[in-house]
Amino acid sequence: MNVSLLFSQILNGLATGMLYALMGIGLSIITGVLNIPNFAHGALFALGAYFLYTVIQLVGNFWLALVLAPLGVGLLGVLIEYGGIRPLYKAGHDYQLLLTFGLSLIVTEGIIIVWSPVGMSQLPPPLLRGGVNLGITFYPKYRLFVMVAAALLVLGAWLFLEKTRYGAIMRAGIEDKEMVSLLGIDIHRLFTAAFAIGCVLAGIAGALTAPIRGLNPWMGVDMLGIAFVVVALAGLGNLLGSIVAGLLVGLAQSLVALFWPEASVAVIFAVMAAVLLVRPQGLFGIR
């Protein structure tokens, strides 16, 4: 086994794993607070990537695009929550699922109509092109940036949820919505905020992914499945669990790709199945 190849695959696994963790945390907040299955999470991820692409086309600045694209996705999230999900809180998971699934179809087809069904590529900003010599291996700068940026965002999400008053309300919302509303907190605003935050995180993950994997309208589908895996392994609203599960899934995927590239995606779900066989409540689940 080539050591430098192994090393760079481990780094790849960590970078994608951090992106998976971002997706998982966003989905976990939405699912935990709003108690809905968000099947649009993957499509919003794709939208983040396309927004990034378009902002770069318009203003030519990657960094600005990296800020604006997720905010755009978050804004759309506010509209979706307000117009679509809010009437459905009491309607049952089947209708919530159908709504978010319908939205994901609309977003995916919308991307095809607005941009094109053909995949596109997006270069990293000039500053982050090329690679750095890490001693053991030569590694692309941009991926290192993604690893660090995603780690910082995960840290930021953790600080927000653990250390701020609003984060505490959000965690309380995951635990017991009735109690939160009895305390005089506007539960609807909480729901909107949680959904928007989840959308922003999905949008960031998408925007960061674009220069690595390029863009295609269906890029969100794989991500949706993986985000579900992360949440199932971590337990709803469990931040630390989402990070560990995200990294685990990312590493499993990139290491299997060394030996058996064809199985590298299916292995994610096999890992989940294996874990659930032993611990049906997930790695960090309580029940």
Partner 1 sequence: MSGSTKAWLAILAAVVLLPVFVRHAIATEIWIFAIFGLGLNLLMGYTGLLSFGQATFFGSAAYVAGYLLKYYGVNVLLALGVGIAVGAVSAAVVGYLCVQRSGLYFIMLTFALNQMFYFTAYQWTTVTGGEDGMPGIPRPSVLGLDIHPPLAYYAAVALLFLLSLWVMKRIVESPLGKILQAIRENELRAEALGYNAPRMKLAAFVVGGAFSGLAGVLYAMLFGIVPLESIGFVFSGNVVFATLIGGSGSLYGPVIGSFVFIWLSESVSSMWARWPLLLGVAFVVVVLFFRGGVVEAWARFWAWRAAHRAPAAARADAPR
Residues interacting with partner 1, by CB under 8 A? 31, 35-37, 39, 84, 87-88, 91, 93-95, 97-99, 101-106, 108-110, 112-113, 221-222, 224-225, 228-229, 231-232, 236, 262-263, 265-266, 268-270, 272-273, 276-277, 280-281
Residue 132 forms beta bridges with which residues? 139
Tell the smallest beta-carbon distance from residue 152 to partner 1 (Å): 27
Give the separation between CA 177 and CA 168, rounded to whole angstroms.
Answer: 13
User: What value does the CA radius of gyration of the chain take, rounded to a whole number of Å?
Assistant: 19
Our CB check for partner 1 shows the closer of 64 and 112 to be 112
Integer Cα distance of 252 and 235 in angstroms: 19
Min dist. Cβ of residue 106 to partner 1 (A): 4
Min. distance of Cβ 145 from partner 1 in angstroms?
A: 29
Which CB sits closer to partner 1, 135 or 280?
280
Give the shortest CB-204-to-partner 1 separation in angstroms.
Answer: 22
Q: Are 50 and 214 in contact (CB under 8 A)?
A: no
* Tokens linked to 67: 């800020």
Instruction: Provide, rounded to whole angstroms, the least separation between the CB of residue 275 and partner 1.
Output: 10
Alpha carbon distances (Å) from 154 to 194, 212, 234, 271:
16, 19, 15, 23
Q: Cα separation of 275 and 272, whole Å?
A: 5
Strands (E), 141-188: none
Residue 117: how many other CB atoms lie within 10 Å:
11
| Pick 164 or 281: Cβ nearer partner 1 | 281
- Cβ 251 to partner 1 shortest distance, Å: 18
Work out how close the CB of 150 gets to partner 1 at its nearest, in angstroms, rounded to a whole number. 22
The owner of tokens 């709003």 is 34
Q: Other CB atoms closer than 10 Å to residue 203's CB: what's the count?
A: 31
CB nearer partner 1, residue 207 or residue 251:
251
Nearer to partner 1, 132 or 273 (CB): 273
Nearest to partner 1 of 131, 225 (CB atom):
225
Cβ distance to partner 1 smaller for residue 129 or 279: 279
Q: What is the DSSP string of 37-103?
A: --TTHHHHHHHHHHHHHHHHHHH--HHHHHHHHHHHHHHHHHHHIIIIIGGGTTS-HHHHHHHHHHH
Of the pair 112, 212, the CB lying nearest partner 1 is at 112
Give per-residue burial for 166-188: e unless 16+ CB within 10 Å, then b. ebebbbbbbeebeebeeeebebe
In the complex, least distance from residue 68 CB atom to partner 1, rounded to whole angstroms? 25
